[in-house]
Amino acid sequence: MKRIFVLLLVLFVASLSACNKTDQVKPVSGDGYQEVKEPSNENALDYELLLHLDSIPHELGISMALVEKESLYQSWAEIFHFETIPDVDFEKEEVLFVTAYSNGCGLVVDTVTQQADTLFVELNYPEELRNKKDLVCTEIALSNSYVMKMPKTGATKGTLTATGTVLLEKQSILP
């Protein structure tokens, strides 16, 4: 009995120390892990956050969609119930719709980068919360929708991460 207790204690301590390691392995799903290469900031894209909504249309869940045509943009604006539709020059620009859930601390768009045909969107805690050592966030799921316009990218895939967790890995982002 004493040996079992000691063995369980050793395993518990080992699992705690493994949780504190910071490396490039991030969860993709509840039971799998996959190495994710972080994009460098030299690939950062200029974007303008048009809207940050506190709702997600029922049919979407966690998603990314790149809209390149005005007619499709109008349809998405209806789905998201825009009060006013921000102007976009679709000859030169496109619109990225990102939906995700956050905990009680909330999430904001931190970076948008591109490597080849893949967009990388990183959501993070608001700047004023990032360096707090004793940050405690509620477990409640808050819905967030981000609408960004940017110069045309030609991207066909995307990776969405939020505070170190991969939400979507290289999903097709063209509707």
Question: Does residue 6 lie in a domain region?
Answer: no
* pLDDT tens digits along 72-114: 999 999 999 999 999 999 999 999 999 999 888 889 999 999 9
User: Which of 17-26, 54-63, 91-100 ranks highest by mean pLDDT?
Assistant: 91-100
**Edge-to-edge strands, sheet with 108-115:** 108-115, 118-124, 157-162, 165-172
Indicate if the pLDDT at residue 170 is higher than 70. Answer: yes
Question: Does residue 68 lie in a domain region?
Answer: yes
* Containing structural domain, residue 43: 39-172
**Which of the two residues, 39 and 91, has the higher pLDDT score?**
91
Give me the mean pLDDT over the 126-151 stretch. Answer: 87
Question: Does residue 31 lie in a domain region?
Answer: no
Number of folded domains in the chain? 1
Contact 76, 59 (CB under 8 A): no
Question: Does residue 2 lie in a domain region?
Answer: no
Question: Does residue 32 lie in a domain region?
Answer: no
Q: What's the pLDDT score for residue 34?
A: 36
